[in-house]
Amino acid sequence: MTMNVADYARECAARGLRGDYSVCRADFTVAQGYNYSDEEQAVWRTLCDRQTKLTRKLAHHSYLDGVAALGLLDKIPDFGEVSEKLRKLAGWEIVAVPGLIPAQPFFDHLANRRFPVTNWLRTQKELDYIVEPDMFHDFFGHVPILTQPVFADFMQMYGKEADSVIALGGDEMITRLYWYTVEYGLMREPGQPLKAFGAGLMSSFTELQFAVEGGEAHHVAFDLETVMRTGYEIDKFQRAYFVLPSFDALRDAFETADLAAIVARRKGEPALDPAKGLKG
């Protein structure tokens, strides 16, 4: 099941992926290679300035606390500097990758408290949409929240468990959990307004507003098994967003769930349609 780097590099070249996979190490990491052009630095600042205007009001405070603690949005981050801060704050580090990497090494990085971040950035023409995740998505979206201990622990647990869930046939189910929490998760703490923390939302100018403020977004209370059964959208706005009451609720649900039993119970069922039948 483990794919070697040379095979993966050939596959990525055939698929036209942008990163240079030929220089990957065995764990699919590369050197960040900090030699970004002035134009790339300008794109980074544009993206961060524009998105920060939204995250200030729509992001969960733990994400904003993470941004403040890392304090590196005025220039393309140096991954070594970020890792130094992240290690002290939460025992995590970031590693550079050329883009998407296979599931098994990705989970292995998470299980060892390393988050893979793409080392290249979208162009000026791609400010609003990019097919492959780039550094802005990976860094601006994912990294600040890793400073939060409970969420950071959940991410490690997810990395440790994912392989065994996949081995049982729960590939789609474990992916949906990541999608609806790590990528598109919302949070409403008791007595507090609705906020977002998922990286897909943090790095999207339009969907962040739609998910939190748009009157048409469908909000559903988080339930682990429901999440694992619910289909999702890849290149459209989600038709439902799951709302957590706290990160503790996510970690505790994952830690105490019998994932093998859920997979055994639900394997082969058609995915739930997020627009129908989910309790809000």
State the catalytic residues: 137, 142, 183, 203
Nearer to Fe ion, 185 or 263 (CB): 185
Stretch binding Fe ion (CB under 5 A), from 23-31, 62-70, 192-200, 240-248: 192-200
Residue among 58 and 199 whose Cβ is closer to Fe ion? 199
- As measured in angstroms, the least distance from the Cβ of 147 to Fe ion is 17
- 165, 199, 211, 224: residue in contact with Fe ion (rule CB under 5 A): 199
CB of 199 to Fe ion, least distance (A): 5
Binding part of the chain for Fe ion, among 118-126, 151-159, 191-199, 223-231 by CB under 5 A, reads 191-199
Stretch touching Fe ion by CB under 5 A, among 43-51, 65-73, 194-202, 250-258: 194-202
Stretch that binds Fe ion, among 85-93, 188-196, 199-207, 255-263 (CB under 5 A): 199-207
Nearer to Fe ion, 199 or 278 (CB): 199
Contact of 241 with 195, CB cutoff 8 Å: no
- 162/199 with CB nearer Fe ion: 199
Q: How far is CA 192 from the centre of its chain?
A: 24
118 with 32: CB under 8 angstroms? no
Which residues within the stretch 161-180 sit at the binding site for Fe ion (CB under 5 A)?
A: none
Tokens 């095979």 correspond to 7
The minimum distance between CB 7 and Fe ion, in angstroms, equals 24
Is there binding between residue 202 and Fe ion (CB under 5 A)? no
Report the alpha-carbon distance of residue 109 to residue 123 in Å, rounded.
28
How many residues bind Fe ion, per CB under 5 A?
1
Closer by beta carbon to Fe ion, 143 or else 199: 199
Give the residue closest to Fe ion by C-beta: 199
The residues that touch Fe ion, with contacts defined as CB under 5 A, are: 199
